[in-house]
């Protein structure tokens, strides 16, 4: 982290108004994901604008094949851990599959849980015009909603795999309409994932709300990445739009190998890792032990053998 990035970070708690003001000033907005306390603390201290507790949790932390298996319980558990580490960044909880699709009433109740039980400031949900009613109801209850369009991972089976979306003019037009509908419904921001940069740029120019891109080019108002991808902590694959800033998985493996070798050749723990007893207390202990030993009756059975 450079001193500049930390000092240019907003001083107080980042709100949806702060994000809107950043868009108006054309200041890029930086979001990353977090799922645990130490990552949340490090992100908050680094000056990040927003933290998404994404349902990518399912893949990069829990080892599921996709995000579909993630439950409300799992999301809330990780949201609470992140919230405990953050005092400044804006916090968004990702609504998991089937927590908002069944009915508006369920969507509203589950969205409320993210604020009430998860310590989040806002929720995110995937989908376009079909989500407008749910978005309106959640926003009416005072809960900020971030939309998510493009390659929405909960629909991976409908897309037939992890494929870039909105590549034809027809599909791009539908996506732009969806973006406008979500803005009208009350979304305070949108994530655009894996779509052509030109389409994302058109949407960012057209909408007043901040557009946060992931694999959507540099024309968005901000960017988000899955932190495990950026840190090189996810072993299965790295999407082509990710810039890896570290290779922590390899570093973790070599640290583990070094530790195992140290334990096996007894170079760990070294004297500085152990607690020595006060010499006087040790002399007393040895004396007491010898007294105890002299008082112990020889065991009959042992004697017999």
The residue ranges that bind ligand KIV (CB under 6 A) are: 33, 52, 54-56, 94, 191, 193, 214, 224, 226
- Element spanning 140, H or E: helix 132-140
Least separation in angstroms between residue 240's CB and ligand KIV is: 14
Complex with ligand KIV: residue 94 or 183, whichever CB lies closer: 94
Complex with ligand KIV: residue 54 or 210, whichever CB lies closer: 54
Least separation in angstroms between residue 214's CB and ligand KIV is: 5
Catalytic-role residue among 27, 170, 193, 284: 193
Question: What's the rounded Cα separation, in Å, for the pair 70 and 304?
Answer: 64
Complex with ligand KIV: residue 107 or 191, whichever CB lies closer: 191
Q: Is residue 146 within 8 Å of 186, Cβ to Cβ?
A: no
Residue listed under structure tokens 């090189």: 232
Q: Using CB atoms within 10 A of its CB, is residue 82 exposed (0-12), middle (13-18) or buried (19+)?
A: buried
193 annotated active-site: yes
CA-based nearest residue to 122, from 47, 49, 71: 49
Q: Select the residue whose beta carbon is closest to ligand KIV and give its number.
A: 54
Least separation in angstroms between residue 241's CB and ligand KIV is: 10
Q: Is residue 182 within 8 Å of 208, Cβ to Cβ?
A: no
Complex with ligand KIV: residue 183 or 193, whichever CB lies closer: 193
Least separation in angstroms between residue 95's CB and ligand KIV is: 10
Least separation in angstroms between residue 130's CB and ligand KIV is: 18
Complex with ligand KIV: residue 12 or 60, whichever CB lies closer: 60
CA 209 centroid distance within chain: 22
Phi, then psi, of 265 in degrees rounded to 5:
-100, 15
Question: What's the rounded Cα separation, in Å, for the pair 120 and 235?
Answer: 29
Q: Which residues are catalytic?
A: 193
């Amino acid at each position: 982290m450079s001193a500049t990035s930390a000092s240019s970070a907003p001083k107080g708690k980042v709100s949806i108004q702060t994000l809107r003001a950043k868009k108006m000033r054309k200041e890029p907005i930086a979001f990353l994901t977090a799922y645990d306390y130490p990552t949340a603390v490090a992100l908050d201290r680094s000056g990040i604008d927003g933290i998404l507790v994404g349902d990518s949790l399912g893949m990069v932390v829990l080892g599921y094949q996709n995000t579909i298996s993630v439950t409300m319980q799992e999301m809330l558990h990780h949201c609470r851990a992140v919230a405990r580490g953050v005092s400044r960044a804006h916090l968004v909880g990702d609504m998991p599959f089937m927590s908002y699709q069944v009915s508006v009433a369920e969507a509203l109740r589950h969205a409320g849980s993210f604020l009430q039980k998860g310590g989040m400031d806002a929720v995110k949900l995937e989908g376009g015009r079909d989500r407008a009613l749910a978005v309106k109801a959640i926003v009416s209850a005072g809960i900020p909603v971030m939309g998510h369009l493009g390659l929405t991972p909960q629909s991976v089976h409908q897309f037939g795999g992890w494929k870039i979306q909105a590549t034809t003019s027809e599909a791009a037009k539908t996506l732009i309409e969806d973006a406008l509908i979500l803005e009208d419904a009350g979304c305070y921001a949108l994530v655009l994932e894996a779509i052509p940069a030109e389409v994302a740029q058109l949407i960012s120019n057209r909408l007043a709300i901040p557009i946060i891109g992931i694999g959507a080019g540099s024309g968005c108002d901000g960017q988000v990445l899955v932190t495990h991808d950026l840190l090189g902590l996810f072993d299965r694959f790295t999407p082509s739009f990710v810039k890896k800033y570290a290779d922590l998985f390899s570093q973790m493996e070599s640290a583990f190998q070094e530790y195992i070798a140290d334990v096996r050749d007894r170079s760990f723990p070294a004297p500085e890792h152990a607690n020595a007893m006060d010499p006087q207390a040790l002399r007393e202990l040895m004396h007491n032990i010898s007294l105890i030993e002299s008082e112990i009756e020889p065991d009959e059975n042992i004697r017999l053998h």
